[in-house]
Chain A
Amino acid sequence: MAHDDALVHELEAKAKILANDCLTQFCTFSQGHVGGTMSVLEIITALYFHHLKFDPKNPDWAERDRVVMSKAHCCEAIYAALTELGMYPKETLGTYYCYQSPFQGHADRWCTPGIDFSGGSLGQGLSFAAGLALAEKLKMHYNPPSRQDTFLPRYIVRYNPKYRVYCIMGDGEQHEGQVWEAAMFATKFKLDNLIGIVDYNKWSLDGPTNDVMPIEPLVDKWKAFGWNVIEINGHDMRQILDACDAAAHVTGKPTMIIAHTIKGKGVSFMEGRPEWHARALSAEAMAQAMAELGREWMA
């Protein structure tokens, strides 16, 4: 399905608003995982402002699409999205990382309506996401629409799932063994309602991801584990939307979207710089960042 230019421009503008919100918090609180949040913003925007089946007024809706932010240290992107959707007053962004704030340092399902996963320990989200996806299929079994649609792992289930599960992971996270356990599991149980996204921004904490512990060939790995793989530029809104649409039409196997991104994208002095994994912004840096994003920094 072709996405019209107006939608693409609208979502690109929205991504810049989220960038503004995120950077403001990182500056105000002198902490936050800046680089990895900036690299995933377009993906979060595409999901929350267009692609997801999600009702901000009813975050516990049983048939909502679930988002498992396995790289939960970059949850600020989702907090900004939920705030922009009207779920939280704008002032809540000002409580990020604070005691008893709904916007905890790592996203927490049990504190924050709208968050589906308490993350932070890398490598775990895909298993949880697989469980969410499998539950949807098992429930189909208990209430199958017809005698043919019976859930058994051996058979491909052809139906429209009531909801899908999206799991966003980092590239350093691909080092974790549990990711590959979950990969095998999802293929065995034909979890075609599970869509993974790797925010492949090429940097982990100790250096370039492929120096610290090589993950290439990443596309080949996911294909070898039986996943449908789509490779995109993670900052190209049209490619993100096309990939999400394509994944929704795959049956019998899960999809992994490998999104090539730039850590710290959008701000020249941050792009591809490892020191911006987690760092405070000064007011001067903030002003320059805002100018580059085409916005004004109201200090």
Chain B
Amino acid sequence: MSERISLREAYGQALLELGRERSDFVVLEGDLSDSTRTVHFARAFPERFLDCGCAEMNMMGMAAGLAASGVLPVANTFSVFSTMKACEQVRTFICYPNLNVKIVSTHAGLDLGEAGVTHQAIEDVAIMRSFPNMTVISPADGIETGAALRAMVQSTGPMYMRLGRSDLPIVNDRGYEFVLGKAVNLRAGGDLCIIATGVTVSAALDAADLLAGRGISAAVINMPTLKPIDRKAILRAARQATALITVEDHSIIGGLGSAVLESLAETPLVPVLRLGLPDVFGESGRPADLFAKFGLDARGIARSAEAFISRARRAS
């Protein structure tokens, strides 16, 4: 895992490359092109780049009008703005009519860092998952981000992809093929299984190394599609492990953890520990400090996992 790239930079480059291959989509931007990295596309294809300004509700409503007329829009802003400021517009004008609009949002989660709570989306997955017809994607690295964008543009229907801010290592193989709706087994392990998404996947892998040193064998699954979630993969993991841990840069209410629990609700097989923000807001700080505070770095995940599996073993 030598190369590091931010998911938003990987996205910006993938979008540019896509723009060179196809001319049937337009890129909408909420005045944040330097941050979302749509700036690459904007410079290359100014006639297909529509800056809608700092007006996200109009951007989403207008995107619906474009899509209803057969034009494919890829709408960009920060996760807080696309899912909350323009929440109703996404729900009623994009999801209800099942329109072909792709929403890519950056700066999600604690990974946003110093800009603080107003900009840290820790509810976006919960909100987007609750809308019928919406697909929710949370890639773990640069390779997966580019592949997911392609998959999004090749599919029809409303889609939301959340990306963080900071540089991340590559965790997937180079030859990896992204499949919408499918989990990725990154590491085998017999004792417990860590299901992670987005920025937390590399921390989960590092946690598995730490756990191995303490005699605990942890499998790690990357879950890049949060809706529709790979229920089969979750059931398989639940049958093979003594405990499941879910990790996300998001509230433990309504995100990956909740989705995993929903999958297991009718066949409760194992105890599940949800790691994420425990129904509190984040704060301003370096991502590394914030992840450490909320136990979402490798050491925190390993510590929580070890304690949880001990309890699970005593209980069983």
Contact B65 A124 (CB under 8 A): no
Tell me if A82 is interfacial: C-beta within 8 Å of chain B: no
What string of 1s and 0s marks CB contacts (under 8 Å) between A166-196 and chain B? 0000000000011001101100110000000
Residue interface bits B33-44, CB-to-A below 8 A is 1, else 0? 000000000000
Task: Report whether A182 and B61 are in contact in the complex, using a CB–CB cutoff of 8 Å.
Answer: yes
Most buried by A among B46, B53, B57, B58: B58
B61 near A178 (CB under 8 angstroms)? yes
Give A288 Cβ to nearest chain B Cβ, in Å.
39
A150 to chain B, nearest CB (A): 8
CB of A2 to closest CB in B, whole Å: 34
A136 touching B69, Cβ below 8 Å: yes
Q: How large is the interface on B (under 10, 10 to 19, 20 to 34, 35 or more residues)?
A: 20 to 34
**Interface residue A118 (Cβ < 8 Å from any Cβ of B):** yes
- When each residue 189-204 of chain B gets 1 if its CB lies under 8 Å from chain A and 0 otherwise, what string results? 0000000000000000
What chain A residues lie within 8 Å of B310 (beta carbons)?
Answer: none
B window 47-87: CB within 8 A of A: 47, 50, 52-53, 55, 57-58, 60-71
**Pair A134/B62 contact, Cβ less than 8 Å:** yes
B24 to chain A, nearest CB (A): 8
Q: Closest residue of chain B to A179, judged by CB?
A: B58
Do B88 and A131 have beta carbons less than 8 Å apart? no
The listed residue (A127, A135, A142, A178) touching B23 by CB distance below 8 A is: A142
Within 8 Å of chain A (Cβ to Cβ): is B89?
yes
Question: Could you say which of B58, B93, B96 contacts A185, with CB atoms under 8 Å apart?
Answer: B58
Whether A184 touches B55, Cβ cut-off 8 Å, given contacts A131-B61, A135-B71, A136-B69, is yes
What residues of chain A lie closer than 8 Å to B88, measured between beta carbons?
121, 124
The answer to whether A130 and B65 have CB atoms under 8 Å apart is yes
The answer to whether residues A182 and B97 also contact, given A130-B65, A132-B65, A132-B68 and a CB cut-off of 8 A, is: no
Q: Contact at B71–A124, with CB atoms within 8 Å? A: no
Q: A128 contacts B62, CB within 8 Å?
A: yes
Q: Which of chain A's residues has its CB closest to B23's CB?
A: A142
A16 to chain B, nearest CB (A): 34
Q: Are A139 and B71 in contact (CB under 8 A)?
A: yes
What separation, in Å, do the CA atoms of A178 and B97 have in the docked complex? 20
B220 near A: Cβ within 8 Å? no
The one of B57, B68, B92, B97 in contact with A131, judged by C-beta atoms closer than 8 angstroms, is: B68
B26 within 8 A of A: yes
**Contacting pair A127 B65 (CB below 8 A):** yes
**Known contacts A127-B62, A131-B65; A177 and B97 CB within 8 A of each other:** no
Contact B62 A182 (CB under 8 A): yes
Contact with A along B149-185 (1 / 0, CB 8 A): 0000000000000000000000000000000000000
Within 8 A of B (CB), among A170-225: 177-178, 181-182, 184-185, 188-189
Known: A127-B89, A152-B47. A177 touches B57 (CB 8 A): yes
Q: Within 8 Å CB of B65, what residues of A?
A: 127-135
Most chain B beta-carbon contacts within 10 A, residue among A118, A133, A181: A181
Q: How far is the CB of B168 from chain A (nearest CB, A)?
A: 34
Chain B, residue nearest A150 (CB): B47
A131 and B89 within 8 A (CB) = no
Of the residues A130, A136, A151, A185, contact of B53 by C-beta under 8 Å: A185
Interface residues of A in 106-149 (CB under 8 A from B): 109-110, 118, 121, 124, 127-136, 138-139, 141-142
23 contacts between A and B (CB under 8 A): A118-B92, A118-B96, A124-B57, A127-B60, A127-B62, A127-B64, A128-B62, A131-B64, A131-B68, A132-B66, A133-B65, A134-B62, A135-B69, A139-B69, A139-B70, A139-B71, A152-B47, A153-B50, A178-B58, A181-B57, A184-B53, A185-B52, A185-B53
| Given A139-B70, A151-B47, 5 more pairs with CB closer than 8 A | A124-B61, A127-B58, A152-B47, A185-B53, A185-B55
Which 7 residue pairs of A and B lie closest in terms of their CB atoms, listed nearest first? A131-B65, A127-B61, A135-B69, A181-B58, A181-B55, A131-B62, A128-B65
- Residue ranges of A at the interface with B (Cβ–Cβ < 8 Å): 109-110, 118, 121, 124, 127-136, 138-139, 141-142, 150-153, 177-178, 181-182, 184-185, 188-189
